[in-house]
Amino acid sequence: MLNDKRILLIITGGIAAYKSLELIRAIKKQGGSVSTILTKAAKQFVTPLSVATLAGEKAFDDLFDLNDETEIGHIELSRAADLIVVAPATADIIAKMANGMADDLATTTLLATDKPVMIAPAMNVRMWEHVATQRNVLQLHNDGIMVVGPDEGEMACGEYGPGRMAEPEAIIAAIIEALSPVDAEKPLQGKRVLITAGPTHEPIDPVRYIANRSSGRQGYALAIAAERLGAKVILISGPVNLDIPPGIEVLPVETASEMLQYAKDELPVDIAIFAAAVADWKVKNSADEKLKKQKGQDSMQMQLVQNPDILQTMAKLKTNRPQLVVGFAAETENLLENAKAKLLKKGCDMIIANDVSHETGIMGGNDNQVHIITADKVESWPKMSKQAVADRLMEYLAAMLGHGVNI
């Protein structure tokens, strides 16, 4: 898209000028705006009226138009544009540009500009292949001017070969690419982020397990957010019903013990976020065979033992501790007190607290409302989608890491 982008289109005198009308429409369709300059020769092929009508603004054509110069000078005309496109670019204007000539509004504007310039050459095949034209085009290329086309094909004059102006679709694609921002350095580039997500399944026997209602959505959203910021993401996931996000390494696990082992195996990491709803308990001696009801049995006992606390283990590592360790506190009452106590008990750097009492609808839903708790402050964020929480949180953690938060 070319939203809010302004193109200055310079139309020179070639039969391909009719395709420039198509180009104006295409730029506008992409959300851009177009100002136009026609050379004297261009006016032999298209009229200023049709150009102005399609562009929705006056078409400029004369350097010495007193009114135009007081309204908008050639310098302003070029400065207001994000990109100048010469299409079609004849052998004549290419030669003038290569030599820095300025004898009309088009060439003067091109010489006065500090904006990127693109040309779409169009001419007879022999003119294109002429050593002078090739020398001029090479000069423009070396001067940093973008050259689109020409295409090969049958010419208006009946000859065949290179010289046809590139199609408007190809020119518009080149314009969009030229105006796309180069990716700024991503804040988590080169960082490793480990995330646990989803529930764990603790086996009772080969067909039964203890589980919980976690959907894994918040953890997966965090993984997507971290990847967007350039991190290498390792997502250790309990059993969930979610698509595997592209570009993210997913390590599927079932139990808390497996989750801890995988987490340790992935060290060192820069940030570790423990978003999994890990079962606190596992069955002490889970059965290898399916448990059968015994005759006359009307109750059964299962002994549960505590699972390892993954967050706490990782936060209290003596070596290889991740620089930032983040936990979640899903509470149904006394949210902030419980969450603050968890921060201390587990030894992590941040707790994301959320109220998962039934009436909030957060458990398993798409939205979340969280409080960010660190050693020295509590920040309450409004209710938003789990992806929005994830994006904001990853930005926050990237900033903490960038500022060298040491623990």
Catalytic residues: 157
At 159, give phi and psi (nearest 5°). Answer: -80, 170
Residue 307 Cβ vs ligand CTP, minimum distance, rounded to whole Å: 5
State the minimum distance, in angstroms, from the CB of residue 280 to ligand CTP.
5
Is residue 327 part of the contact set for ligand CTP (CB under 6 A)? yes
Pick the piece of the chain touching ligand CTP (CB under 6 A) from 10-18, 122-130, 276-284, 371-379: 276-284
Tell me the one-letter amino acid at 252: P
Least distance in Å: CB of 148 to ligand CTP? 53
Site string for ligand CTP, 193-232 (x = CB under 6 A): ---x------------------------------------
Closer Cβ to ligand CTP, 230 or 239, answer by number? 239
Which x/- pattern, by CB under 6 A, does the window 291-310 give for ligand CTP? ----------------x-xx
Q: Which of residues 227-266 bind ligand CTP (CB under 6 A)?
A: 256
Q: Is 329 in the site for ligand CTP (CB under 6 A)?
A: yes
| Per CB under 6 A, 330 contacts ligand CTP | yes
Give yes or no for residue 325 binding ligand CTP (CB under 6 A). Answer: no
List the structure tokens of 330: 């899903």
CA separation for the pair 158, 143 (Å, rounded): 33
Binding range to ligand CTP, per CB under 6 A, among 23-31, 113-121, 275-283, 297-305: 275-283
Q: Is 278 in the site for ligand CTP (CB under 6 A)?
A: yes
Peptide bond into 88 cis (omega under 30): yes
Question: What is the chain's length?
Answer: 407
**Closest by CA position to 8, among listed 23, 29, 18, 22:** 23
276 in contact with ligand CTP (CB under 6 A): yes
Asked if residue 324 binds ligand CTP (CB under 6 A), the reply is no
Region of 100 on the Ramachandran plot (φ > 0 left; ψ -120 to 50 alpha; else beta)? left
Q: Closer to ligand CTP by CB, 53 or 334: give it.
A: 334
311 binds ligand CTP (CB under 6 A): yes
Residues 196 and 309: beta-carbon distance below 8 Å = no
Contact 232, 192 (CB under 8 A): yes
Residues 6+ apart with CB under 8 A from 318: none
Contacts of 104 (CB under 8 A, 6+ apart): 39, 40, 62, 63
Q: If binding is defined by CB under 6 A, does position 280 make contact with ligand CTP?
A: yes
**Least distance (Å) from ligand CTP to the CB of residue 275?**
6
Under 8 Å between Cβ of 69 and 43: no
- Write the DSSP string, 236-294: EE-S---PPPTT-EEEE--SHHHHHHHHHHT---SEEEE--B--SEEETT--SS---PP
Q: Is 39 in the site for ligand CTP (CB under 6 A)?
A: no
C-alpha dist (Å) from residue 233 to 149, 242, 256, 278, 305: 41, 17, 20, 20, 31
- Shortest Å, Cβ 180 to ligand CTP: 39
Q: How many residues bind ligand CTP (CB under 6 A)?
A: 15
* Residues at the site binding ligand CTP, with contacts judged by CB under 6 A: 196, 256, 274, 276, 278, 280, 307, 309-311, 327-330, 342
